[in-house]
Each structure stands twice: as structure tokens, then as C-alpha cells.
Amino acid sequence: MTSTHRKVALAASALALALTGCDMADDDSSSPTGSPAPQATAPSAPGGPVGSLPADACALLTKEEAAEVMETKIDLVRAENAGTEKSCSYDDDLKISVAPGTVEDFTSQAEHYEAVAGIGDAAYTGGTALWVLDGTTKITITSGGGPERRTAVARKVITRLAAPSATPAS
């Protein structure tokens, strides 16, 4: 990725984060979602992620797991739901969002960011966000601390989504 592409990607991420924050009028969190794209469309196949997404995204990663990955104490864990997107914020250090997603929607946005190999069906990163498509579920991980931490969180989320009966209580 060239320097110009990085600058454009960072500017687009900053704009998307700022615009997303404006949509959180009833939310007391200052943590943005980090999603660069509008909500992904619901899948056309029955029994897709709308039915398989957890009611509470906080069930995908415990407070203790978040603290371990972020290498800091986590005091507040808060679920946030907006339409079909389910999110969980861990203090202001980490936010996980899951929503229905399609390959078409995902890949149309991916060209503007850096690809990440070896996680989900497709993944890309930009700024403080990691976006992963796993089946028909779009996962967004927003945090500081580097891409390794976001990747570790995404791997745990993918594992939990694959085996929802094994989801821990947060």
C-alpha cells in the first residue's frame, strides 16, 4: 500500500469514525465503532447470521479475556445494539461488533485497506480497526494496542460464534 493510499485510508477511517460517533446520541460511550461502511445487508439465505448472532455480543469475550488481551484492567463492559449490529465495549479500550455481512459488501470496502491473511474468510485492517468476514458474519474489532491484539480478539470471537453453546458468561 502506498503512502498516498495509507493517508486516504486513514482519512476515510477517521471520517467514518467521526460520523459513527454522531449516531450515538443516547450512548454514553466515546468509543467509535470503527466501521468504515454502512450496515451490511442481511443475507438472503435463511438461517443466516441474523438468527445465529448472539443476543449479547459481550458473550463472545469475557471481561477477563479482554483484560488479558489488552494487558490492562477492564472495569466496564457494556452491550450496545443498533438494528442487526450487536456490539460490546470494554471500557474505552476495546469494542467488538458483529453484524450480518455479505462477500460483496465486504470486498467492495476491502480494496481501500490492508488485507490480513489467515483469519476468517477475508480480513482487512486500517487505523485502529480490524474487519473480518466469517461466513455471513461481519466482525469489527476496534482497539488500540496494535494489530496483534485485534487479531487475537477476532480469533476468539470466531471460535465463539462457531460454537455458541460454549459461550462464556461475561
Q: CATH code at 110?
A: 3.40.1000
pLDDT of residue 164: 52
Full residue range of the structural domain in which residue 92 is found: 3-166
Alpha-carbon distance of 51 to 24, in angstroms, equals 25
Task: Give this prediction's pTM.
Answer: 0.67
Residue type, 24: M
Give, for all 170 residues of the chain, the pLDDT tens digit.
443 333 334 333 433 333 333 333 333 333 334 434 333 333 333 333 344 788 889 999 999 999 999 999 999 999 999 989 999 999 988 999 999 998 888 888 777 899 999 999 999 999 999 999 999 999 999 998 889 999 999 999 999 998 755 545 54
User: Which cell goes with 141?
Assistant: 474489532
Alpha-carbon gap, residue 163 to 134, rounded angstroms: 13
**CA nearest to 37, candidates 119, 140, 114:** 140
Number of structural domains, the chain? 1
